[in-house]
Amino acid sequence: MFTGIVTDIGEIVAVRARGEGLHRLKIACGYSRASIIEGASIACSGVCLTVVGIGEDEGRTWFAVDAAAETLRITTVGRWRHGTRINLERALKIGDELGGHIVAGHVDGLATLLARDDLADMARFKLSAPPDLARFIAPKGSVALDGISLTVNEVEDDTFSVLIIPHTLKVTTLGELAVGDEVNLEVDLMARYAARLLERP
């Protein structure tokens, strides 16, 4: 489990196909090598991936993860190339501060940035969600976009908006987004459970 609070920006330094529908990615990061163990879960732009290798090159830590066909199909992982920057978050530990909301790292689909308004003290993003996911998005509710916990501002049909504060623009990859870009979307777990309960006879 994660909180949607990004703790580092990683960089893809290698992508290698390992059989049909499986990619191994090598990701450079600012975490210390000693703090990462094989088998650990790290959210990579919102996608929970398992560490399968760790090392250090020229004083910089790297870790390797494998992404399977389903992950490549429904997330942005299949488009990552050498130099792609991604948001990183380590798995939640007992006693950690829950600063965002409960995020599973299981991406539901892709949201598309429709408009971006850069204001004096923040930015407003308007995004579209797949119709089957839009029903789980509500004003004042939570979503995770590329692994970042955000509060929904407005909702209309299958579009929604979020306000991004300068700090978030600075310490995540959201500041790099342009109209037309897609981001990994995870809807609120509680909204999913509530909808499921209402569907029961």
Measure CA 19 to chain center: 25
CA atoms within a 13 Å half-sphere pointing along the CA-CB vector of 106: 6
106 is catalytic: yes
Structure tokens at 200: 């029961």
Residue from 28, 43, 44, 48 carrying the catalytic annotation = 48
Catalytic residue among 50, 112, 159, 161: 50
Catalytic residue among 40, 106, 128, 191: 106
* DSSP symbol at 172: S
CA distance 137 to 157: 10
Question: Catalytic residue at 2?
Answer: yes
128 included as an active-site residue: no
> What residue spans of the chain are helical by DSSP H?
69-74, 131-134, 166-171, 189-199
**Which of 69, 151, 194, 195 is labelled catalytic?**
151
Q: Which of 68, 69, 115, 194 is catalytic?
A: 68
Looking at 2, 63, 125, 136, which residue is catalytic? 2
Contact between 148 and 163 (Cβ < 8 Å): no
Per annotation, catalytic residue among 7, 40, 41, 112: 41
| Residue 82 annotated as catalytic | no
Known active-site residue 136: no
Query: Is 48 an annotated catalytic residue?
Result: yes
Region of 36 on the Ramachandran plot (φ > 0 left; ψ -120 to 50 alpha; else beta): beta
Residues recognised as catalytic: 2, 41, 48, 50, 68, 106, 151
